[in-house]
Structure 1
């Protein structure tokens, strides 16, 4: 079921079918994945923007399912968040990481743990030269800590947001 695993977490790629299940609600997603899904896990923004956009991209190219998925806590067998890369590598070999952990599970280091696992996995994928994290609000201290733990460097400051990047060549093998 998991395509990427860390000590406490597993990554379940989003497919057309899993997104359609998620769009129908937590119970449908739980039945489809055969894993617990936290109540109120799926928020309005997921229903209105995240899932429809992801579904549209997957219908055009199902091969991209490996780049973004659900995060599950192995101990409780529960989906606790979503994480991955917004698209496959662009022409420059860059991918942008995105993540969200259910509020109930925040503060346990889960986002950092899975982001590290995803970084290691991504740098093994063909064509990946670097990972970016863009448009992080300057007051989003938790997110800034995550990207810094990944070894990402600040590359740009905007009025309200900051951007980070790590290149594959800067990661010791």
Structure 2
């Protein structure tokens, strides 16, 4: 299964590829224009740059992106990248995928974090091998915790730094065998 863009009301989630990620990591943003995106001085921000090695690591494990990696978060109206989001790899043995997302400072407080997270959760729950979506956020990251709560996630544990969250796949008539 090849990763496809995920569309939400205001966003398009475009899958990272090795070529895109390596080019951006080298400091060359012209690849964004080749994808029909508008350049912005705000992305990639330092948080995205710090994430690129992890994205490359996950992409090198698969022949092509399959949807369980990372996406560029594109604002549909302006066609600018306003963040990155995705999963940290294939479902584990319990059928769980771990969700992560980051929205640039200039686009925060507009509901994009919730919209991107909901789009990814919806996509994940359409995959038969996914039984739950998990997430982690820093204890001090109140905004992220609020997004995860609004998604319906429940806190499963915490320590001095992190809160761990989980959202089981809803049971529907189609999933009852």
Output the TM-score relative to the length of structure 1.
Answer: 0.88
Match of 1:83 among 59, 82, 85: 85
Pairing of 1:114-129 with structure 2 (within 5 A): 114-129=116-131
Consecutive unaligned residues of structure 1, counting only runs of 5 or more, are none
Secondary structure at 2:170's aligned position in 1?
helix
Counterpart in 1 of 2:154?
Answer: 153
Distance verdict in 2 for CA 1:163–1:149, change over 3 Å: same
Pairing of 1:82-121 with structure 2 (within 5 A): 82-121=84-123
CA distance in structure 2 between the aligned counterparts of 1:170 and 1:101, rounded to whole angstroms: 31
Output the TM-score relative to the length of structure 2.
Answer: 0.87
Consecutive unaligned residues of structure 2, counting only runs of 5 or more, are none
Counterpart in 2 of 1:66?
Answer: 67
TM-superposed CA distance for 1:7, in Å, is 0.8
Query: 1:113-169: per-residue Cα shift (whole Å, max 9, x none)?
Result: 1111111110001310001112x2222110001101110001002122211100003
> Root-mean-square deviation (CA), in Å?
2.2
Counterpart in 1 of 2:34?
Answer: 32
CA distance in structure 2 between the aligned counterparts of 1:14 and 1:171, rounded to whole angstroms: 31
Secondary structure at 2:146's aligned position in 1?
helix
TM-superposed CA distance for 1:172, in Å, is 9.5
Secondary structure at 1:60's aligned position in 2?
coil
Q: How many residues align?
A: 171
Counterpart in 2 of 1:133?
Answer: 135
TM-superposed CA distance for 1:33, in Å, is 2.2
CA distance in structure 2 between the aligned counterparts of 1:24 and 1:172, rounded to whole angstroms: 48
Runs of 4+ in 1 over 4 A off after TM superposition: 170-173
